[in-house]
Structure formats: C-alpha cells, structure tokens
Amino acid sequence: MAVKIVTDSTADLPKEIVEELGIRVVPLNVHFGEEVFLDWVELTPEGFFEKLAGTDLLPRTSQPSPGDFQKVYEELGSGGDAIVSVHISQVLSGTYQSATMARDLLEGMDITVIDSKVASMALGLTVMEAARAAKAGKSKEEILEIIDFYMQETRVLFMVDTLEYLEKNGRIGKAQALLGGLLKMKPILSLKDGGIIPVEKARGSKKALQTIVERLQEMLPPDRKVKGTIVHGNALATAEALAEDLKKTYDLSELIITSVGAVIGCHTGPGLVGLLFFPDKE
C-alpha cells in the first residue's frame, strides 16, 4: 500500500518540487473585491504582488471547502492507498477543519489529517520530507514519525516591511501595529503554538536581517549541518543576499529560495523575508 501526501497552497511549495515528489496541493482562495482566484493556480506570486501594488483593495482569503478535499481524497484513495494530509495551523486558517470534515465523510478510507501548527515553507519543508519518504516506499507510520520530527525541529523567523497587513487581517492587535509604524521599527516574528508571536524589533531592514541570522544561530548552532528555505514577498534580491550570508555561516545540505504565494502574501504584504530551517536528519 502506497502513501499519498496532500497539503494546501499555503505551503508555498515551488511547482517543480510538487511535480517531482507527487504532492497533491489543495488551493485556498484569494479575494480581490468580487474577483476570486485559486492560490498558486490562477494567481501566481508575481501576479499577486503586481495586483496588490495596483489596487487600494485589501485582499482577503478563504479556505477550501470540505468538498474540495473530499474530491482529492476520493481520487487518491480509490485504490486503497493511505493518505496523509498536512495543513496550515488551524489558529491561522479554517483549512484544517475543512480537511477533517472531508475525512469524516469518508469513513472507509485511511486518511490522517495533521495540523502542522505552522505556515508557508515551514509547512512546505515538512510536506517535502514526508513526500520524499513516501516516494522511497516508507510506511505510513514511518512517515508520521518524520512529520513529527520536522514539526518539532523547524525554526521560523521572519521580518515584515509593515505590520499593516497582519493587523488588518486580524493576526495581530491594532496597538502593536501602530507602535511598530510610529517607531519605524522592523518587527521580527515567529510562530508558536500555531500563532504569530513577536521575537524582537530592529531599527531598519539591514539590522533586522542581521538580527534574524543571529537568532537563528542561537536556535541552530553553526556547527550543525542544516537545510531549509528563505522565503520572500517580492524581495528576491534581499533573499539572495541573505542566502550568501548564511552560506558563510552554515554547512547547508539544501537551501531553497522561493516566494510566498498570494494567501500568505495577503497577510504579510510585500517586503517579507523569512528563514525556515531545521537540522539535517541524515
């Protein structure tokens, strides 16, 4: 019996990785006024940030329906294969709930739904390792152990250019966003227990990026071999410069640089730069 891996579009996995590893991605929805787009399907990261810059509309997002997941599960599990479905934190989205509702409608199928408690490539990295294990013929139990390891070990640090988007989308309080804007501080954030938490503030982007690297070194000492991702929101040059700095510090067994998709971009806005790393298990 094979194991099929399912996730959602907030994993921000590059298309080539999705295709190579046979990952099934269920897209969330992005709303610009009356227009609705499927994340990563009908709206690319580049298209999203271009559209965002040309409108005063605040985009919003919505999760897939249980029916969207049911169709995918029925297709993948029709031959008796097991399904492991790993999703964005339920604190941040109703996607996990939609997936569990679909699972409960398909009682005869072997479907495990997991709340990753993270988002973007912190989720994507875990899904990627699970899919590699599935492709190698690992059992469902072995894959679940791998998922648990990476959920525990992935370290997340990110900087946003402004707190405006997080505040307007209800992810942080208005007072916190106002204070950051008044002081021209760049907030450094992380994820804990499924939600966004502040880590530190730095004055200016350059100092903020330096601080992010320093905090990463505290979490993952430079003498450890690591792998991970740098994500960005329409800030590729900054992400690439950060990658060069990390290569001087760490023995990187794998480094992926990728943009966040439209759903994550709705909440962070342009200018996001984030590190999502974990120790190499090999």
Lowest mean pLDDT of 154-168, 231-245, 246-260, name the range: 154-168
User: Any residues with CB less than 8 A from the CB of 243 and at least 6 apart, and which?
Assistant: 230, 255, 257
Pairing relationship of beta strands 251-259 and 111-115 according to DSSP bridges: unpaired
What pLDDT is attached to residue 179? Answer: 46
Domain 3-28+63-152 annotated CATH 3.40.50.10170: yes
pLDDT(44) > 70: yes
Burial label for 218, CB within 10 Å (0-12, 13-18, 19+), is: exposed
- Give me the sign of the Cα torsion angle 102, 104, 109, 111: positive
Domain 155-279 annotated CATH 3.30.300.170: no
- Residue 158 and residue 189 in contact, taking contact as beta carbons nearer than 8 Å: yes
Tokens of 244: 């060069």
Q: What are the pLDDT digits (tens) for 160-199?
A: 887 666 666 554 444 454 444 445 678 888 998 888 888 8
pTM comes to: 0.92
Taking the domains of the chain in order of start, what are their residue ranges? 3-28+63-152, 155-279
